[in-house]
Amino acid sequence: MTSRADPSDANLPDAEEALASLAQGMRAGVAHGAAFVGIYSGGAWIAERLAKLLPGDHPVGYIDVSFYRDDFASKGLKAGARRSNLPFDVGGASIVLIDDVLYTGRSTRAAINELFDYGRPASIELAVLIDRGGRELPIEPTYVGARVACARSLSIALSRAGDGKLALNVEPAGKA
């Protein structure tokens, strides 16, 4: 692996504990039929886990925001874009958009724009495993697993092990 910064730099919580805390916070608020839409790739893993953890029947969808990013002109198209897949009718749906790390809010903006190209949802809520602050857009999460302070020079990444366990790591920023 490449040089990995010390996780203690960001006082990262345990990912599984943050997930449990996120699920706990959502239990009372989320509609039983709400669709869970995970933003690739970390948000997709969390959406799958939450659909199992929470009561009710939650269709799971996946969204890749590559075609809606606002840095296309400066950075170009990111390699490895995936197919968005929303196997339910977005029009009229209650949607919980799910991401691993909320930072500037730009991915969330891109995801909301993309959702509207599939239809007009009844509502969109935002659930994130980690809120690291640093917003550049007026976007706030509805549900948060954990809040952390993290230097701008670092980026927080979620990984998933072979047994499905989630883990948080910090990397020097600018790689993504």
Partner 1 sequence: MNGARNPQLGPDGRLLHLLTLEGLPAETIVSILDTAEPFASIGERDVKKVPLLRGKAVFNLFFENSTRTRTTFEIAAKRLSADVINLNIGASSTSKGETLLDTIDNLVAMNADMFVVRHAQSGAPHLIASHLHATGKPHVHVINAGDGRHGHPTQGLLDLYTIRHYKRDFRALSVAIVGDVLHSRVARSLIHGLTTLGTPDVRVIAPKTLLPARVEAMGVRVHHDMRAGLAGCDVVVMLRLQSERMKGALLPSSGEYFRHYGLTADKLALAKADAIVMHPGPMNRGVEIDSAVADGERSVILPQVTFGIAVRMAVMSMIAGGPP
Summarize as ranges the residues that interact with partner 1 (CB under 8 A): 64, 66-68, 72-77, 79-85, 113-114, 116-119
Query: Shortest approach of partner 1 to residue 147 CB, angstroms?
Result: 32
Name which of 55 and 76 has its Cβ closer to partner 1. 76
Instruction: Tokens for 6, please give them.
Output: 């010390």
Residue 81 Cα distances to 63, 85, 96, 118, 129, angstroms: 10, 12, 22, 18, 22
- To which residue do tokens 């948060």 refer? 144
Query: Shortest approach of partner 1 to residue 78 CB, angstroms?
Result: 9
Name which of 80 and 164 has its Cβ closer to partner 1. 80
Query: Shortest approach of partner 1 to residue 83 CB, angstroms?
Result: 4
* Residues 27, 56 contacting (CB under 8 angstroms): no
Which bin fits 25, alpha (ψ -120 to 50), beta or left (φ > 0)?
alpha
Name which of 7 and 59 has its Cβ closer to partner 1. 59
Name which of 67 and 88 has its Cβ closer to partner 1. 67
